[in-house]
Structure 1
Amino acid sequence: MTSRVEKYLARLDRLSGGREPRFFPVESTRQGLRGVTAIVYDDLPRGLLTTFTYGVSLATHPDWRHCSPELCLSVRSEDEIWAHAAGFLAEQLRGTCPFGPGDTVDFGERIVPESAMTGFCVFEPVAFAREDCSAIDVGVPGHEGHDVIAVQGLYPIHEVERQFINAYGIDVFRQQVWEPFDVLRAPAV
């Protein structure tokens, strides 16, 4: 029988074309809940460092009715601190943050030294086709459709952008001219 994580990794394997990822485990701070793993791909898609999480969906949240999230961070950088930050954030906030479109997170400091960005926003992953990231059925045989993961995009943002999103919404922010993968860009608002 294929396990939940094996089904998820099989989807990532298809998405990546069979590339070998690196795995960065993050120990759980919650008793009875397994840790989070940051699954990192270099140059996927071309020129981006991409990190998928596994472990957010092991928690529960009242907003997660039909599916539970995992996160995908894609950045134009070679600094693997981005991957560690995604894993840390996923572990710390799973079960308390719904990780739904428009949610923002204040990291509290620069995420990496090279970038002035101090927060993240969430919406669908734009580096991949929607059908590759939504409705990943990881349920056991006979219970298909009862355990579904939807990958949510995690995007680094400046503090002023986080405040803007909180005030005006993610849809208004996304209408601004900005490059979601560029961690060295100026604020879009």
Structure 2
Amino acid sequence: MTGRDTFDRFDRYRELLDLLTGATPVICDVEPRVRTDGRVVAISYAGTPKPGYVTGFTYGLSLSTHPDWRLGGRELAITVRSDSLEWARVPARIVAALRGVCPFNPGQVLGYMEPYVEGYGMNSVVLAGPAVEIEPGLLNLGGIEADAKRCDLIEIVGAYPIHSSERDFVHTHGYDAFWGLEWDRFDPARQPVV
């Protein structure tokens, strides 16, 4: 483990996610691109936020830093209408591949050569606010009694699966133009809107 990657930190994060979702997760380690950067974990919640959906969170992105991150560390979250836990693991696979080289900013699109999940056509994600509501907006892994010096704030960034043609549209027309279109953000089997 790296210096920040402690069992207590991970347990605190998972406890906060369990309270947020009201569910018990399936936890899966994902092989990181650079092992010395710390582990990457997929934390998956079946039937969350309701039956027929799956929600997944990453752990490991917040072990790195980036100049764009003003509020603290970041982790990714995904929510889709599916029974496949593979969708919940997609953000962790993205983090494992791009941690340390990508800022993971809302409005950014990320892509892959092949579909993320077998049987589905989507091979990209657009980053935005998370589908799961987080109050007060940031998770504090420093604990309830942590003073300002011991705060360990985590911003959750939502990852929404999209098609490669939609990723190209964002590159050409911008995030706002794409986000403003009518499309089901939770349907990984939908047809492209552009």
1:44 equivalent among 48, 60, 64: 48
1:73 equivalent among 69, 78, 81: 78
Structure 1 CA distance for aligned equivalents of residues 101 and 165 of structure 2: 23
What is the CA RMSD across the aligned residues, in angstroms?
Answer: 1.9
Structure 1 residues not aligned, in runs of 5+: none
Shift of 1:155: 0.7
Structure 2 residues not aligned, in runs of 5+: 1-6
Shift of 1:83: 2.8
State the SS of the aligned residue for 2:36. coil
Q: Is the CA contact (8 Å cut-off) linking 2:122 and 2:161 kept in structure 1?
A: yes
2:138 equivalent among 99, 122, 135: 135
Residue-pair matches, total = 185
Aligned counterparts, 1:157-168, within 5 A: 157-168=162-173
Structure 2 CA distance for aligned equivalents of residues 25 and 82 of structure 1: 15
Aligned counterparts, 1:1-189, within 5 A: 3-17=8-22, 19-46=23-50, 47-126=52-131, 128-131=132-135, 134-139=137-142, 141-143=146-148, 146-189=151-194
Which shifted more, 151-160 or 72-81? 72-81
Q: If the length of structure 1 is used for normalisation, what is the TM-score?
A: 0.89
Which shifted more, 57-66 or 46-55? 57-66
| 1:137-162: CA deviation from partner (whole Å, max 9, x where unpaired) | 12363345742101010011011110
Q: If the length of structure 2 is used for normalisation, what is the TM-score?
A: 0.87
Shift of 1:59: 1.0
Shift of 1:79: 2.0
Q: Is the CA contact (8 Å cut-off) linking 1:137 and 1:144 kept in structure 2?
A: no
Which shifted more, 170-179 or 22-31? 22-31
Q: Is the CA contact (8 Å cut-off) linking 1:137 and 1:145 kept in structure 2?
A: no
